[in-house]
Amino acid sequence: MAKTVLVVDDDPTQRRLIQAVLEREGFNVVHAEGGDQAIARLGAGGQTDVILLDLNMPGISGLETLAEMRARGFHQPVIVVTATGGIDTVVQAMQAGAVDFFVKPAAPERIMVSIRNALSMGALKGEVDRLKKHQAGRTTFDDLIGGSAAMTMVKRLGERAAKSSIPILITGESGVGKEVIARAVHGSSERAGKPFVAVNCGAIPENLVESILFGHEKGSFTGATDKHLGKFLDEVGELPLDIQVKLLRALQESEIDAVGSKRSIKVDVRIVSATNRDLSQAVKEGRFREDLFYRLNVFPIEAPALRERKEDVPALVDAFVKRFNVEEGKTVVGAAPETMAFLVAFDWPGNVRQLENAVYRAIVLADAPYLQPHDFPAISGVAPPAAPAEPSAAVTASAPGAASMIPALPQAVPVRILDERGHLRTLEEIERDLIQLAIEIYAGHMSEVARRLGIGRSTLYRKVREQGLEDVLKGGGFETADEADAQVA
C-alpha cells in the first residue's frame, strides 16, 4: 500500500511543489496549512507514515506543533523543513525528536532520501516494539493483523475469554495463526508479562507431564513460586493416549505436594491448547479421550483459513513488508497493485505462514520500490527477468502442472528427478530433497511433515539424521519446530 506523507506548510506553492515530487514517487500526499490542522488530521486517525513539517509558520510554530504531536502520542517520524536555515531551531527540532531536516528549496533527490530513511527508521522502531512485546509476553489482540469480520470475531472472543481462567481450544488449519492467538490470550490475561510457555504435545516425555504442566515435580514444590500458571499446549491432537491419561489426571487434581507440608497446594493452571486436527473426530475414532477433550474444549476459538478472509491479505502483506525490510535492510514500499491483486486471489493453502514466507522471499529478490509479480514466481507463474534457465532435461517439481500438487513455495528447493546430464538421480538423493522441501514448506513442523510424507515421526527423524538434514532444521530458524519446545521440559 502506498505510504502517506503529511505535508505541513503555510505556503501553498511549497506544498504543491513537494506534492509533485512525492506523487511522482508513488506516495500519497495530504496537506495541512498549519500545526492545528496537522494535529487534527493525526487525531482523526487517517493513515500517516511520515510528516514533513515547516518550522516557520504563523500561528503555532513548527517546534510547538512537534511538541504537541509527541505529547498526544503521535510517533510518526518527522522531517523538519526550514526556509531560513536558522540552525538554532533545527537543532532544537532534532533534540525534540525530528529525524532529519532540509532547507528549502531542496532537490527532489534530497527530499526522497530523507523520506525513505525516515520510513525505514519508523519501521525499525515498530519492529523493535513488536519483538519487545513478544519477548515480554505482552502481545495483545491489537497486534493481530486483519480487520475482516472473521478475524474481528476471533479477537472479540479471545479478549473476553482471556480475562478468566477458562480453558481455550484454538482450532484451525496449519499456519492460520493459532499460536499468535494463544500469545494474545496470554498477553491480555492476568498472566501478561510472564513468559509465554509453549509445550509441544507431540514431544512430552511421559515422566514429565506434571513438571511441564506445573513447572514442578510432585513433592518438590517449595510454595515460593506463583500458583497462577499459564500453559500453551500446542498440537494437542498429537498427544499419545498414555500421556492423555496423565494429563487429564494432573488437570483434575490441579494440586502439588509442597515440600515439608502435609497439605498439597491448589494450583490455578490456565490451559490454552491448539490443534489443526479435528479433535471431535479423533474422539469418535478413539484416538483422543473424550473426557480430556471436554476439559480442554471449554471455550473453542476457530481460527479461520486465510482464503476465507481474503480482505486481510493486503494488511498482512504490508506488515510483512515492513518487518522484512528491517530484517533485510531493504526499503520496499509495498506490493504493486497488480501484484496485490493476485496475492489476494491466491488461496494460500499454507495460510498466513505461507504468505509470510512468500513475502520474505519477494523482499529478498526485490530490486524495485514496489513488489512485482516476478518477485513471487511460484504464485504468479512469472519468472524473474534474469533467472538462469533450468537445464532442459531436468524435470522439476516446479514445472507447470506439477506446481499445483505442492501446497507451498515450490521455489524453495525444486525436487529434481534427473541430474544435469539427464540421468535419473537415485532414490536417496530425491528423498533427501523431498524431505528438505517438506521441512521448508511446513516450517519445521515435524508431525505435519511426517503426515504429508506418509511416514512415522520416528522414521522421519531417522531419515533427517541419516541424510544429514539436521542443519536444515536448525539453520532454518524454525521457531515453531517441535524440538524448539523441548526447552520447557
Ligand X SMILES: Nc1ncnc2c1ncn2[C@@H]1O[C@H](COP(=O)(O)OP(=O)(O)OP(=O)(O)O)[C@@H](O)[C@H]1O
Output the nine-digit C-alpha cell for 13.
506553492
373 is an interface residue for ligand X by CB under 6 A: no
The binder of ligand X chosen from 406, 439, 480, 481 (CB under 6 A): 480
Number of H helices, E strands in the chain: 19, 14
Output the nine-digit C-alpha cell for 479.
521457531
Measured distance CA(402)–CA(386) in Å, rounded: 23
Window contacting Mg ion (CB under 5 A); options: 47-55, 179-187, 255-263, 389-397: 179-187
146 is an interface residue for ligand X by CB under 6 A: yes
Provide the CB-side half-sphere exposure for 206 (13 A, CA). 5
The binder of ligand X chosen from 94, 112, 145, 282 (CB under 6 A): 145
**Nearest-CA neighbor of 327 among 131, 176, 474, 141?**
131
Q: Are 288 and 295 in contact (CB under 8 A)?
A: no
By CB neighbour count within 10 A (0-12 exposed, 13-18 middle, 19+ buried), where does 43 fall? Answer: exposed
The binder of ligand X chosen from 39, 63, 176, 198 (CB under 6 A): 176
The binder of Mg ion chosen from 9, 179, 238, 318 (CB under 5 A): 179
Residue at shortest CB range from ligand X: 177
485 is an interface residue for Mg ion by CB under 5 A: no
Residue with Cβ nearer Mg ion (100 or 179): 179
238 is an interface residue for Mg ion by CB under 5 A: no
Give the contact letters, 431-470, x = binds to ligand X (CB under 6 A), - = no.
Answer: --------------x-------------------------
Residue with Cβ nearer Mg ion (265 or 484): 484
CB of 170: closest distance to Mg ion in angstroms?
Answer: 9
200 is an interface residue for ligand X by CB under 6 A: no
323 is an interface residue for ligand X by CB under 6 A: no
Output the nine-digit C-alpha cell for 273.
491448547
The binder of ligand X chosen from 5, 185, 279, 352 (CB under 6 A): 352
Measured distance CA(82)–CA(85) in Å, rounded: 6
- DSSP annotation of 297 reads -
Output the nine-digit C-alpha cell for 334.
509495498
CB of 183: closest distance to ligand X in angstroms?
Answer: 8
Q: Are 196 and 183 in contact (CB under 8 A)?
A: yes
Position of cell 514442578? 216
Measured distance CA(393)–CA(400) in Å, rounded: 15
175 is an interface residue for ligand X by CB under 6 A: yes
Output the nine-digit C-alpha cell for 76.
510518526
Residue with Cβ nearer ligand X (35 or 175): 175
Residue with Cβ nearer Mg ion (238 or 433): 238
247-276: contacts with ligand X (CB under 6 A)? 274, 276
**Nearest-CA neighbor of 361 among 347, 349, 351, 375?**
375
By CB neighbour count within 10 A (0-12 exposed, 13-18 middle, 19+ buried), where does 38 fall? Answer: buried
Number of residues lying near ligand X (CB under 6 A) = 18
Residue with Cβ nearer Mg ion (42 or 182): 182
122 is an interface residue for ligand X by CB under 6 A: no
By CB neighbour count within 10 A (0-12 exposed, 13-18 middle, 19+ buried), where does 369 fall? Answer: middle
Binds 162: which of Mg ion, ligand X, none (CB < 5-8 Å by kind): none
**Nearest-CA neighbor of 283 among 223, 241, 220?**
241
CB of 234: closest distance to Mg ion in angstroms?
Answer: 5
CB of 18: closest distance to ligand X in angstroms?
Answer: 34
Measured distance CA(33)–CA(69) in Å, rounded: 16
CB of 274: closest distance to ligand X in angstroms?
Answer: 6
CB of 172: closest distance to Mg ion in angstroms?
Answer: 9
Measured distance CA(414)–CA(397) in Å, rounded: 6
168 is an interface residue for ligand X by CB under 6 A: no
Interacting residue ranges for ligand X, rule: CB under 6 A: 144-146, 172, 174-180, 274, 276, 352-353, 356, 445, 480
Interacting residue ranges for Mg ion, rule: CB under 5 A: 179
